[in-house]
Homo-oligomer: A and B are copies of this chain.
């Protein structure tokens, strides 16, 4: 296997791509982010990385609340649009036609059309460089009935999830196996 050494860069993939909502003075905003990840199982936490130059950065810093909205592939255009304009001069709910819906634990709204919505409170802000890392404690998860399986768990296949790699959006398709399958297949 011939390897080529490339310059240091953000080479991890596939990563999630989500729409993060905030609110201040009754004015909700949306930002599309891919530099996000789960960081702790218990207490459940995720992180989002946001550039200080963005409108959302100020909202997050001041309100210390946000919602991570996971879109299905049917919302690709709306998600892309929310990554291309600034909330400083654009009402992104009006721009996209998406629906703001009350959350259960935070003031920031859910995006109703996103099948999974994760309500978070900012626990810590870590300055890294071009991005600041916001660690969010997960307070509640709201899910469309339509994407739950018979045991009441989220069925990823019903969401038609989207991943980000390179500078493109990719469909998440076939289930390849469950965690632990190698052990079971050895029996």
Chain A interface (Cβ < 8 Å from any Cβ of B): 1-16, 18, 34-47, 49, 68, 70, 73, 76-78, 80-81, 83-84, 101, 104, 110, 112-113, 116-118, 124, 126, 128-131, 133, 135, 137-145, 148, 152-156, 159, 161-183, 185
Contacts and interface: CB of A to CB of B under 8 A. Distances in A.
B173 A178 contact: no
Say what secondary structure dominates the interface of chain A.
strand
Contacts of A172: 14, 163, 165, 170-173
Nearest to A78: B182
A3 B101 CA distance: 10
How many copies of this protein are present in the complex?
A: 2
B167 A176 contact: no
B4 A145 contact: yes
Nearest to A166: B156
Contacts of A104: 5
B129 A10 contact: no
A50 to B, nearest CB: 11
Contact of A11 (B4, B43, B118, B152): B118
A87 to B, nearest CB: 16
A105 to B, nearest CB: 9
Given A38-B35, A76-B177, A176-B76, A182 B47 contact: no
A2 B133 CA distance: 32
28 contacts: A5-B104, A5-B140, A8-B138, A8-B140, A9-B44, A11-B70, A11-B141, A12-B38, A13-B161, A14-B163, A14-B172, A35-B40, A38-B49, A40-B49, A40-B129, A40-B131, A41-B131, A76-B177, A80-B183, A81-B182, A162-B176, A164-B179, A167-B178, A171-B172, A171-B173, A171-B175, A172-B172, A172-B173
